[in-house]
Chain A
Amino acid sequence: MHLAQQPDNMERVSMIKTGKRRGQMRIVEAMLASFVIIFAITFLNVFAVTPSSPRYETSDLEKMGNNVLHDLDEKGLLGRFVYGENWETLTIALMVSLPPEIYFDLAVYDLDWNRVNDTPIRYGDLEAFETSSYVASVTYIIPGYQADYNPRLLVLQLVRR
């Protein structure tokens, strides 16, 4: 009876040993799998840096400038100020519409690119436009005012203070 039980015990010892090994292998496998996934995510993060270039993207300043001109035009104010040559009021309207940290310089041209506004429509130092690393520029066209078709080209330059 004692002899008959011995091989059974040996088998049990061997099973316990293989069970432990199997458990260790599971941990090793899990670690390897984790390393593979972490490596994949790290690899992705290195290359998934999205490019940012003002050359290709419409900057916030350009969007802001265009929106301001578009809103003034929609309300019928832009045509009134430009064709009435009311440059001072136009300057104030732009100052009110844009945030205070934005400097602007607006030039009004006819279709042959002759400058129409004799006085500057500007807020901020001229130096800021020369020294700033990025100057946003928006071109806007208005066809005329009331019964006169006589287009004007507006070039609005914007810099952040």
Chain B
Amino acid sequence: MRIGRHKKGQFVILAALTVAIMIVSVGIIMYGTVTYFKYERWQEYLMIIDNVELGSQRVVEISLANYTSTFNDTQILINNLNQWQMNLTKAYPGFGVALTYSGATIGNGTKSVTSQTDDAMYFSSANASLEIDIASVGLTGYKFVASAFLGVILNATYDNSDLVIFMAVEKEDSTPVTDLNKDNISINNESLANINSTLTYFYKMDNDGVLRIVYRIVLLNYPGLSNVLVAVVDSRDIRVIANSTVT
């Protein structure tokens, strides 16, 4: 009986001691974790990654805007990305921020669109795959893609002597460009602002399931054209040139 009682008493104390040791152990682990995360400037690294990502996107857009001003300099994207790699170190000294890129392409062309009229889309585009390393924290291989795009689907027809142009303009991810005005559009190398014309728009759901904003340009008393050349410049200064046979 006595031995039994002593054993039970020791068990309660032992249990309490075990619980106490567990509490202290968990506390030590939590303390270590919290201080580790506090001493590393995670928030700052995230801010740097965000800023570099947005900046790289801007570099691609700037390069495409520059390229489409003449459609000649195909090296502009690579040159700008090389400079951007070096300039980043000035903004974030001591962090060991390194940016590498691959597959940098820039150009213009056409692609088919499953629209109601099966028209072609004329486009200007640039893109690059980029990777950020932050050596000071051992972060390597944060990958992202930066791309810039401007495309136009064009259709032109005559209504008596008025030339009517239907034009859908979109940027990356098929996002419609909604802020165009007459200053952003030129017809046969002449600004639309200088031509007697009207510019309106309407919405249309295409066969490919994309909701498009269609600009309707009416060039009043503009006869005699069999082919029309339309240039569009968006707010980023990216230009795209499209042409269409007048039906």
Binding site for B on A (CB under 8 A): 18, 22, 25, 29-30, 32-34, 36-37, 39-41, 43-44, 47-48, 50-52, 56-58, 62-63, 66, 70, 73-74, 76, 79, 111, 139-149, 151, 153
Interface residues in B78-112 (C-beta closer than 8 Å to A): 80, 83-84, 87-88, 90-92
In contact, B38 and A56 (Cβ under 8 angstroms): yes
- A18: nearest residue on chain B (CB-CB)? B1
> What is the predominant secondary structure among interface residues of chain B facing chain A?
helix
Other than the known A33-B12, A141-B55, what 17 A-B pairs have Cβ atoms closer than 8 Å?
A37-B20, A39-B20, A40-B20, A44-B24, A48-B27, A51-B38, A62-B44, A70-B54, A73-B54, A76-B235, A111-B90, A142-B58, A143-B55, A143-B87, A149-B59, A149-B63, A149-B80
Bound together, the chains give a CA A22 to CA B15 distance in angstroms of 19
In contact, A144 and B17 (Cβ under 8 angstroms): no
In contact, A37 and B65 (Cβ under 8 angstroms): no
In contact, A36 and B51 (Cβ under 8 angstroms): no
- The listed residue (B30, B31, B91) touching A141 by CB distance below 8 A is B91
Interface residues in B38-89 (C-beta closer than 8 Å to A): 38-39, 41, 43-44, 47, 50-51, 54-55, 58-59, 62-63, 65-66, 69, 80, 83-84, 87-88
- B30: nearest residue on chain A (CB-CB)? A48
**Closest 7 pairs (CB-CB, A-B):** A33-B16, A40-B20, A141-B91, A146-B237, A58-B43, A147-B65, A44-B27
Interface size class of B (residues with CB under 8 A): 35 or more
B3, CB-defined interface residue at 8 Å: no
A-B contact pairs, 14 of them (CB 8 A): A33-B12, A41-B23, A43-B24, A44-B23, A47-B31, A50-B38, A51-B38, A56-B39, A141-B90, A143-B80, A147-B62, A149-B59, A153-B90, A153-B91
| Contact A40-B12, Cβ < 8 Å, known A70-B50, A79-B58, A143-B58 | no
